[in-house]
Structure 1
Amino acid sequence: MTSAATAAHTDLSKEARDLRIALLGNPNCGKTALFNLLTGARQKVANYAGVTVERKEGLLRTPGGRRVQVLDLPGTYSLDAHSLDEAVTCDIILGRRADAPRPDVLVCVTDATHLRLNLHLVLEVRALGLPAVLVLNMSDVAQRQGIAIDREVLARELGMPVLAAVGVRQDGARELLQWLDTVAAAPQAMAPQPVPPALAALPADPAQRVLAMHQEVRRILALAVRAPAQTLQLDDRIDAVVLHPLWGMLLLAVTLFLMFQAVFSWAQWPMDAIEGGVAWLADGVRAHMAPGPLRSLLADGVLSGAGSVLVFLPQILILFLFILALEDSGYLPRAAFLLDRLMGKVGLSGRSFIPLLSSFACAVPGVMATRSITHWRDRLVTIMIAPLMTCSARLPVYALLIGAFIPARSVGGVFNLQGLVLFALYVGGIVSAMAVAALAQWARRNPRPTPLLMELPAYRWPSLRSLAFGLYERALIFLRRVGGIILAVSILLWFLSSYPAPPAGAAGAAIEYSIAGRIGRLLEPLVAPIGFHWQIAVALVPGMAAREVAVSALGTVYALSATGDDVAEQLGPVLAQDWSLATALALLVWYVFAPQCISTLAAVRRETNGWRYPLILAGYLFALAYVASFITYRVALAFGG
């Protein structure tokens, strides 16, 4: 085949396949909102090969019918990579990753209200001569703030097309979609673009290069952008309260307090509906199947096990609704800034706040997020206390025990007592983490906390579309756990709890003669001093896989502990009848500390390159859990619990 024929074949294959674009931009520029707008439900989340960096891909179809693959790159401020996320972004842009082909076009997403901060990255892309387009996201907000952007001048100076977008509106990506149709009809637009003369002449010295890049940003902005003198006047007035040392802390405490109140107050109706649905299915299985192992597996293993965890989905979604709304509004970075001073007193870097905040959702991404911490000692301390943050996996256990043992009455005519107890458990985890960090600081010879430097985004109303997609992803993750590891462990525990069968004429429940019952009796002397009995011991063992598995394990154990046809359908009332208040409180405290999550220990092993620190982590957390549960149980007994 001649070279001309080869070139023609290459062009033909490029036209035939889907167009590949990648969204690139600074954090907080609205890139993910634009990605959700473009792809809708046609997206998937995975990890890049060999690393734990998240990969989000989606598919869109332009008005002209062209299929486009969309990649949402990790946010970065520069192509000079300092973190693993930034390194992955750079590798994809330069075509150095086999699992992510180089995109045909880079879509440089910028916040139109903060172009001075965003254009540095755009200029770095233009200096590479890659096919790219600039998208001015949040252009409606910029217009309301009186910011006038001359797109023709900006396009001329940058040497690239400039489009407007509003990532939170239904038709906010209209210009981008039309431009993609134009590119599809003219593949030459995807060819490498000539580098503007000013960027081609940048000095080689890194420091001088950065200085020259900043000067070029100022020159372009002076030509293309006109802004009023007090663009951020409203944000400044809000920040005067939000970032105030006293009022800001009170506002943060009230926000968190109301969040935990809502977890119980708003979730009751959907929880009752799910519980009723599971009970209806269990009754249907018992009514339409003959007694035997299969009926017991479905009713006592699958439905009593996995179903007892599924009921807590509404509470988890309400918790994440608050977290996503606070993040989308621009409040969370300010909370990090506000708490930086307090965290510095216990020797934590200000950069530790974001990983610890992520740990409220799950400790695994929290541990991974510590890569942004420069100093190893600060990073290690953050890793070692991240599991103390109350993750969403604890919520089913907390909700079960609080609902069973704490009365649903009001305090002061305003607050829900159950919400107060949940808030106290979250605060207990935070205070414990700070105490461990302070102890680590005391053990250091020269503690030097690293100051927190971060961009504070503009305030904005949370996007309903982004909130909906965030809750949808969280629900899928939870349902996968229920349908995967929790279901598998429930079935395994049912088998261990059902076999071997008791001898003929034996007294008591069948589970007492099973393998699980014997394991529970074997462990009972170890956990008896902290108020636990053999049923709890049985639940704690499979609960090492994931904390919420303990709820399904208790559901299976108590369903099989019932005699005759009196199988427990509602776990909470059964526990309230069988346990003492002291035992319930001790188990709640146990879950504040115990490292019952193999995934977290595996993540710590990956981040520290060995088993030394995961074993230390598990050892000190189990010790804390045992001592705290022992004290709680004895004090509760002393007060009549």
Structure 2
Amino acid sequence: MASVDQFQPPAGSTTDAIRVALVGNPNTGKSTLFNALAGMRVRTGNYPGVTITKKVGRMTLGDCPVDLIDLPGTYSLAPRSPDEMVAVEVLSGDLQSEPPVDVIVCVLNATLLQRSLFLVSQVLELGRPTLVVLNMSDTAQSRGLRIDAQRLERNLGCPVVSTSASKRGGIDELRQRLADLVMSVGQSDAGSDSASQRRDDWALPESFYQICDQFRSHLIQSACVPVQSGKSTDDLPANTAELPDDYLLQRALLDRGGAAEKRLVRKLGAAILPVLNETRDQLRSDFDDVVDMECSSRYTWAGRKLDGVLSQGSGSGGLTDTLDGILTHRVLGLAIFAGLMLLVFQSIYSLAGYPMDWIDAATGWASDLVTDAMQPSILRSLITDGVIAGVGGVVIFVPQIALLFFFLAVLEDCGYMARAAFLVDRIMRLFGLSGKSFLPLMSSFACAVPGVMATRVIENRRDRFATMMIAPLMSCSARLPVYLLLIGAFIPSITILGFLGLPALVLMSMYAVGVLVAIPVSLILKHTMLRGEAAPFVLELPEYQWPDPTVVFAKVWEASREFLVRAGTLILAASILIWFAAYWPGDHTRQYELQAELAQIDQQLDASESSPAEPLLQRRDEVSEELKVISSDLLESSLLGRVGHAIEPAVRPLGWDWKIGVGALASFPAREVIISTLGTIYSLGGDVDEEDEGLIGAIRAATWPDGSPVYTIPTVLSVMVFFALCAQCVSTLLVIRRETNSWRWPVFSFTYMTVVAYIGAMLTYQVGSLWTAG
């Protein structure tokens, strides 16, 4: 094990700051502690090649600049998830493009010290200067636990500080102890008592470390280790210098097929595998089960370190035990959970409506401003219909995202989120998922964009990706205008069983179809593309506490900013491409002339002090009608319209004509765009909604060349089923790209959903036609 006496600040580092990493189990208050230390000087990004968010806060201790890194929560340095993998690679200095960590701050839950010390035993073996934080010390005290932090510091051989991050207790002492440790980095005697341990004080049996030494020797003797240029193969120090550190060798022996083994193979090549397997066989003969050996040894070590540290005084479980008796009750708990979820989503729906209306009004105001300032032209169309409409289509999601992540942050920070996952886990097993998938899926009924982003709460990668793949199947609010238009126009207002309205039944069925399809899709994914051993649903129920406003605000701000900066730019680009496809290559000269004349007439009407002249009003109506017809013709002759005509043979089995096909294509940026597209196609203009009587009348009157109606009940149901199942939302697909860090998953999502939607719509139309014909 590396001694801190040889530790030096990283050479060739990309930053002049000391790098301090915060590591700890989930639900230890690590993020709250991070915010208390770093304040608002935080920058976020992604670790190279993965979707795990990196949070780095800049702070100053004395005259020394410090980069404080908030690592993902982990129970062990034997990673089982992408988040834990990132934490291990950062701590071990094995992550590409990331300088080594200089100091480690290990945050523990003071109420669960023996379990938390399991991670401490592994961290100390990294050989880095380490500081241990006993967070939630106030909760431990309320439970009657008395902790002798000074004795624990002597036992561990590293600084120990007690804090209560949510109440900012102990932060000043933590800063001072951390400053002392940071200032000592690079000195010859730095941290001699904080990171280095005597071999007889290591957590695992001495015979294990002896076998590790033999493993190192075997690697050198078998020429598995590359030799430095100009050195002899018998030059042991040169060979040793090329070896990974002892910690990586130890973890590779302990974790068969795990991340450490893969990293070791990457470093030294596959030639090490025979030596590795031979050494493992020796370990198995000595210890039978090395996993059990490590667990029991580390917990035994933790028990020794806690000797004389803990004592039990008077206290009780307090509020947490009382609330859990109610909130996790099999019946009452579910009822409270259902009511709370209803309140959350109703709040998102209601409260987000106001800022969304303001954003919509601001978009309209900006578009009108440009329209008044510029003559009709391709540039004006690009700015108003492409850029401004695209920006509005991005920004309008922010209120929903901000509110959703506000509620998520509050529920998580107060401790209720874990209880919610526990309550619905049995239901989610029908999907092959865990209870943590429930909230993202429920969020997707409002909007799939924040729903996909909310999958970040799911640690297991397979469950997270499976949830992302089925989240768009939940009928979001953007589908509702399509449902309302078609149901209002064609579904008769009759009752079934004397009380159930047929329109309401059809609307409920559209919401149910996505859920019913999601179940087999998720199960198929978990047995094919995302197959693997079922992840154990291990859930820790943290202490209830008041949410930290700083943490809540930081999560809301981070989610909103990340959506605008990363996903928003892609959505804007896609919106402009769709505008271009609907605009080019028609001749818009006459359209521009009519738009200019219509604007001039409107100015004359506004300037008229008396009643407007009848000829002026008549001319305005004539220009408006001609403009609608020309706009419809231009859309039909555009690239988008030509594609619509080209795909008409493919959509005829669904009961669609080319106009419905163009509406489906144009709604790719957002599903509700089909309403305005149909308005343009039927020469009504794009400024229509689902309640527009003219649009309802036009689609009712639409006929095939033989005079038969286009929109029959089977056709209407076919269109609604297609929109219920198809991935008609570029925003969702681009957010999936952002969350998975790959184009593979959004392409797969779009492909499978389009195929399922097509088959579902075709079956609906064909079976419905046979039913009505019979």
Give the TM bin, normalised by the shorter chain. Answer: 0.7 to 0.9
C-alpha contact (below 8 Å) 2:582/2:639 kept by paired residues: yes
Report Cα offsets for 1:415-434 as digits up to 9, x if no partner. Answer: xxxx9999997776445433
Give the distance between the partners of 2:33 and 2:589, measured in 1 at CA.
66
Alignment equivalent of 1:255, drawn from 340, 343, 346: 340
Identify the residue that residue 200 of structure 1 maps to in structure 2. Answer: 202
Q: Give the alignment partner of residue 594 of structure 1, picking from 726, 732, 735.
A: 726
2:135 maps to what in 1? Answer: 137
Supply the distance in 2 between the matched residues of 1:533 and 1:40 (Cα, whole angstroms).
59
Deviation of 1:94 (Å):
1.9
Report matched runs for 1:53-202 at 5 Å.
53-62=52-61, 64-169=62-167, 173-187=171-185, 188=187, 190-191=190-191, 193-195=195-197, 199-200=201-202, 202=204
Do the aligned partners of residues 158 and 255 (structure 1) sit closer, same or farther apart at CA in structure 2, a change above 3 Å counting?
same
Hey, what's the Cα distance between the residues in 1 that align with 2:203 and 2:566?
Answer: 54
Instruction: Please state if 1:464 is matched with 2:466.
Output: no
Instruction: Please list, as runs of the form range in 1=range in 2, the aligned pairs for 1:235-250 lying within 5 A after superposition.
Output: 235-250=320-335
* CA displacement 1:527-550 (0-9 Å, x = unmatched): 466576756644654766xxxx22
Give % identity: 31
Moved more, 572-581 or 588-597: 572-581
Following superposition, the deviation at residue 196 of structure 1 comes to: 5.5
Q: CA deviation at 1:25?
A: 0.5
- Equivalent residue pairs, number: 599
Question: Residue 4 of structure 1 aligns with which residue?
Answer: none
Amino acid at match of 2:17: D
Question: Could you say what secondary structure the match of 1:27 adopts?
Answer: coil
Indicate how the Cα distance of structure 1 residues 389 and 181 shifts in structure 2: closer, same or farther if over 3 A, else same. same
Structure 1 unaligned runs (5+)? 1-6, 374-378, 408-418
The within-5 A match list for 1:254-333 is 254-333=339-418
TM value normalised by structure 2: 0.65
Residue 482 of structure 1: how far off its partner (Å): 6.3
User: Quick one: distance in 2 between partners of 1:558 and 1:476?
Assistant: 34
Q: Any idea what SS the aligned residue of 1:96 has?
A: coil
Q: Does structure 1 residue 517 correspond to structure 2 residue 637?
A: no
The Cα shift of 1:395 comes to: 4.5
Q: 1:162 to 1:88 in 2, by over 3 A?
A: same
On the 8 A contact 1:19/1:67 being kept in 2, the answer is yes
CA contact (8 A) 2:147 2:310 kept: yes
Q: Which amino acid aligns with 1:241?
A: I
Partner amino acid for 2:132? L
Partner residue, 2:305: 220
Bigger Cα displacement from structure 2, 316-325 vs 195-204: 195-204
What residue number does 1:48 align with? 47
Moved more, 319-328 or 223-232: 223-232
CA contact (8 A) 1:52 1:368 kept: no
Is the 1:306–1:552 Cα contact (8 Å) retained in structure 2? Answer: no
Alpha-carbon distance between aligned partners in 1 of 2:508 and 2:39, rounded to the nearest angstrom: 35
Give the CA deviation at 1:280. 1.2
Cα distance change, pair 586–492 in 1 and its aligned pair in 2 (3 A): same
> Which SS does the other structure have where 2:75 is aligned?
coil
- Give yes or no for the alignment of 1:34 onto 2:29: no
How far apart, CA to CA, are the structure 1 residues paired with 2:559 and 2:338? 25
Measure how far apart 1:492 and its partner are: 1.6
Q: Is contact 2:143–2:315 with CA below 8 Å preserved after alignment? A: no
Change (3 A) 1:523 1:425: same
Distance 1:48 1:451, change over 3 A: closer
CA contact under 8 A between 1:25 and 1:108: conserved in structure 2? yes
- Structure 1 residue 127 displacement after superposition: 3.3
Question: Partner of 2:436 in structure 1?
Answer: 354
Provide the C-alpha distance between the structure 1 equivalents of 2:506 and 2:373, rounded to a whole number of angstroms.
Answer: 42
Compute the displacement of 1:257 (Å). Answer: 2.0
Letter in 2 for 1:24: V
Distance 1:525 1:372, change over 3 A: closer
> What do residues 218-253 of structure 1 show as CA deviations (whole Å, max 9, x unaligned)?
343352233457643532332223222222222222
Partner of 1:387: 469
How far apart are the structure 2 equivalents of 1:44 and 1:301? Answer: 32
Deviation at 1:358, TM superposition (A): 5.0
Which one has a bigger Cα radius of gyration? Answer: 2
Query: What do residues 483-525 of structure 1 show as CA deviations (whole Å, max 9, x unaligned)?
Result: 4112112222222222212487795312222111222333355
Please give the per-residue CA displacement for 1:66-91, whole angstroms capped at 9, x wherever unaligned: 32112122211111233333233222
Contact 2:481–2:672 (Cα < 8 Å) also in 1: no
Tell me the C-alpha RMSD between the 2 structures: 4.7
- Higher deviation after alignment, 553-562 or 273-282: 553-562
More divergent stretch after superposition (576-585 vs 44-53): 576-585
CA distance in 1, matches of 2:549, 2:517: 35
Aligned residue identity for 1:125? V
Q: Tell me: CA distance 1:157–1:514, structure 2 relative to 1, closer, same or farther (3 Å).
A: same
SS at match of 1:122: helix
User: What are the Cα deviations for residues 296-348 of structure 1, in whole angstroms up to 9, with x where unaligned?
Assistant: 1111222223314422322232222222222222222223322333444x483
State how far apart, in whole Å, the 2-side matches of 1:258 and 1:191 are: 52
Q: Which amino acid is the alignment partner of residue 244 of structure 1?
A: H
The change in CA–CA distance for 1:471 and 1:94 in structure 2 (over 3 A counts) is same
Correspondence for 1:335: 420
The residue aligned with 1:17 is: 16
Deviation of 1:285 after TM superposition, in Å, equals 0.6
1:163 Cα shift?
Answer: 1.8
Taking structure 1 as the reference length, what is the TM-score of the superposition? 0.77
Question: Which whole-Å CA distance do the structure 2 matches of 1:358 and 1:600 have between them?
Answer: 14
For 1:459 and 1:636, locate their aligned partners in 2 and report how far apart those are by CA, in whole Å: 53
